């Protein structure tokens, strides 16, 4: 017999003798024949679809062991790259708070997340991670979308905006008065903020009684269909608070990979915001202008054209929130700059650790890391951090 000591990056329990065991929690006992005897951190999963559904992989863990998993994920990759740092307790989002999700729909009407490590769709009848407003649309959409006669699988992006749920359907476009009437009836009955379809040439809005916005930093920002947004309000608040702390006192800040302005609109500073997505940066520009916030925007591909060292030296601090691949090109320029403080937000501990290693080799210190678990019961880990260097 052996005891499960921790959870691996992909969610399997690791026993003291090295065995990897699915659905095992720290403290469980693994018998010689492979059976699991539940320990103090093993809880009964809440959802009937677990563990088949790939929406969450760790529903059998209590919050203490899920927090430990998040911390261990970050600590292990930092250790592997030789970058020590204090790691704070994770900020966990509660169940049923996820305000942004992509579901899949088969022509037969099956709708949900894909199964773990599979393309098969798990037909959702309940969900303990989605916000109730999102889940309330699953059944109506399952009835409506098959009538569009799509010949392939559709993707449905749901986002909880200020005015209600924003729905974007990719892979088909409605045709005819009957489809229009059915869409209108669904939107009115369920208080939908917007319905848009994208059959391959860009989103086309079919229902939007008033302009759809998302409030960031106290400012209502126009929300383009399918835009990126932090997954939960609680997760966003934790990341914003950590980033504000990281760059506190800076008068001029560069917000790179700025998106719609989650951080740019929350900082007490003059902000230069760069983002490659045109719709997002134009939305931020319009919102900042109306609110008279000191935010200067630029559409810029920071992978192809990162800010140079000379450009970076104009700022007191820099905020980075890159995609999962990290910000290698931009980090190399930062490493050679005179920027005193960096607030780095990441959704991938692996690429973060690689970039952290480059910054620390150049003289920066990783002061702290704030883990954030906003994808409830998932192996997906996010974080905010602070790098600083003494003036030359």
Q: Are 281 and 298 in contact (CB under 8 A)?
A: yes
Strand partners, 195: 167, 207
C-alpha distances (whole Å) from 53 to each of 60, 112, 114, 123, 292 are 13, 8, 6, 9, 45
Task: List the catalytic residues.
Answer: 347
- Which DSSP string corresponds to 135-152? HTTHHHHHHHGGGG--SS
Distances in Å between the Cα of 11 and the Cα atoms of 25, 243, 370 are: 9, 29, 21
| Neighbour order of strands in the sheet with 20-21 | 20-21, 13-15, 2-7, 29-30, 36-37
Q: Please name the residue that has the structure tokens 């005897």.
A: 37
How far apart are alpha carbons 326 and 177 in whole angstroms?
A: 46
- Report d(CA 129, CA 112) in Å as an integer: 12
């Amino acid at each position: 017999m052996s005891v499960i000591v921790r959870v691996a990056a992909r969610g399997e329990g690791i026993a003291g003798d090295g065995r990897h065991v699915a659905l095992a929690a720290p403290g469980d006992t693994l018998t010689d024949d492979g059976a699991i005897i539940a320990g103090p951190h093993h809880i009964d999963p809440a959802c009937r679809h677990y563990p088949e559904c790939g929406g969450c992989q760790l529903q059998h863990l209590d919050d203490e062991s899920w927090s430990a998993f998040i911390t261990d994920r970050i600590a292990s990759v930092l250790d592997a790259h030789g970058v020590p740092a204090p790691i704070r307790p994770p900020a966990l989002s509660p169940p049923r708070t996820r305000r942004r999700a992509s579901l899949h729909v088969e022509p037969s009407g099956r709708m949900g997340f894909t199964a773990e490590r599979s393309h098969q769709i798990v037909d959702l009848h309940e969900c303990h991670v989605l916000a109730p407003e999102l889940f309330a649309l699953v059944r109506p959409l399952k009835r409506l979308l098959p009538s569009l006669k799509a010949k392939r699988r559709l993707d449905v992006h749901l986002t909880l905006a200020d005015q209600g749920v924003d729905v974007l359907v990719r892979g088909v476009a409605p045709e005819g008065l009957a489809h229009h009437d059915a869409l209108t009836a669904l939107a009115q009955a369920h208080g939908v903020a917007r319905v848009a379809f994208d059959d391959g040439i860009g989103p086309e809005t079919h229902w939007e009684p008033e302009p759809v916005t998302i409030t960031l930093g106290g400012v209502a920002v126009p929300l383009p269909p399918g835009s990126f947004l932090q997954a939960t309000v609680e997760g966003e608040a934790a990341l914003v608070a950590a980033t504000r702390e990281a760059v506190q006192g800076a008068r001029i800040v560069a917000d790179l990979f700025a998106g719609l302005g989650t951080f740019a609109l929350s900082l007490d500073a003059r902000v230069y915001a760069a983002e490659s997505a045109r719709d997002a940066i134009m939305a931020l520009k319009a919102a900042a202008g109306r609110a008279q916030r000191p935010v200067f925007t630029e559409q810029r591909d920071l992978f192809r054209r990162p800010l140079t060292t000379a450009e970076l030296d104009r700022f007191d601090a820099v905020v980075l929130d890159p995609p999962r691949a990290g910000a290698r090109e931009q980090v190399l320029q930062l490493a050679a700059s005179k920027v005193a403080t960096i607030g780095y937000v990441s959704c991938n501990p692996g690429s973060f650790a690689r970039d952290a290693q480059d910054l620390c080799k150049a003289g920066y210190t990783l002061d702290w890391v704030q883990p954030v678990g906003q994808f409830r019961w998932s192996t997906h880990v996010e974080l905010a951090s602070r790098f600083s260097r003494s003036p030359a």
